[in-house]
Structures are given as structure tokens and as C-alpha cells.
Chain A
């Protein structure tokens, strides 16, 4: 079974700072997902990637398949970015669900 590790577990930063959240996994995957969960429960898919880099607004996600590592970056962070960010992987092989990391609790202070 794939082991997904995230760091840091908690991160508090000031508005405007550049944020990096890291994710590593133990076994080869078909895809990696970055998800955002706000208090109250709703989960939003931010990125799904299997190679390279993707950008959406102020968010950038990268993945290095050889090193089994991915990063999520937030540029010009804002208090509304405060949420739990979760890394999850598909290990492939068919109709599989996601294996989740424990999440990074991000707080952006004004």
C-alpha cells in the first residue's frame, strides 16, 4: 500500500508570503492530486498531475516522478487561502480510490 507523507503538518504565515507544501509517496503512482478542504468539510480538487508542472492562478503544483515527490506552491498568499491542503495518490491498476496524506493545516494571517 502506498504511504503518503506531507510536510509541514501545520504552517502559519503572513499575508503575501510564498508558501510551499511538500508531499512524498512510497510506491509508483498513476496520478497525484492536491485537494483543499475548508472548515465545514467541503473538499475541492486543485490539481491532478502525473508529470511536470501545472499552474492555476496563484497556485502551482509540480511533481518529480523519479524522486516520488510533489510540491504545492501558493504565491502572494491571502487569508482566504487558509485551509487544509491534502495530497492524495492513485496507485493505478484500475478503479482505485485515493490514498491520502494527513494534510497540511495552513493559516495565513493578515
Chain B
């Protein structure tokens, strides 16, 4: 299995909702990443997990809460989001720190 999967593909939520994004890989990669991409802009790094520990949090608001339950799975829990949080959320993984990254197809999030 050489792919990164993300669910759901699309998500629409209200500002008071709680939802979660899921990312999974079965390539044995030990680093996993969350990126946010607004329309016509490059992706921006949000979080990096290495060996299931949070290594980097790029000053992301606390309404985004990452979780890495095991080496194959990465979640992003969402709560009390704002309309400006609407974006494509991309997950990626790499064998080790700084290695070639494999991206999932993304979850397109709309916050109403």
C-alpha cells in the first residue's frame, strides 16, 4: 500500500460543530504532517508528528487539535471553527524526518 488516504473528502460544518478529519498511511512512515491550503495559495504547514509525538505546531489556533493515536493514523479535531478556516486540509507522510513526502488527496472543508 503506497498511498495516504484522507476522510472525508468534503466536509461542511457550522461554527458550533465538532468534527474530525482522518488521515491514514500503511507505508511504515514515522513522520506525518497536516497542511492547510487556501484557494490559489501554496499549502501552509500546521503540525508535524514524528514517531507519534508532536514535533512542530506552527502557532495554530487551539480550535484545531491534532492527535496521533498510532503510527498509521493522524486525526485533526475541529471545534468552534470560523468561516475563514474554510480550506483544503492536506495530510502527508514521510519515511523519516525531512524525507520525501507523500500527500493524501485532502479534505475540502467549508465552515458556514
Contact = CB atoms under 8 A, between A and B. Distances in A.
A98 B108 CA distance: 20
Contacts of B55: 94-95
B108 A95 contact: no
B35 interface: yes
Contact of B48 (A43, A92, A96): A96
Size class of the contact patch on chain B: 20 to 34
Contacts, number: 64
B42 A96 contact: no
Given A42-B103, A45-B103, A96-B48, 20 more contacts: A31-B98, A33-B101, A35-B103, A40-B105, A41-B37, A41-B90, A41-B105, A43-B43, A45-B101, A45-B102, A88-B42, A94-B98, A95-B31, A95-B56, A96-B97, A98-B45, A98-B101, A99-B45, A100-B43, A102-B41
10 closest A-B pairs by CB? A97-B45, A100-B42, A95-B50, A95-B55, A43-B103, A95-B97, A48-B100, A41-B106, A90-B98, A42-B105
Interface of B: 31, 33, 35, 37, 41-45, 48, 50, 55-56, 58, 88, 90, 92, 97-103, 105-106, 108
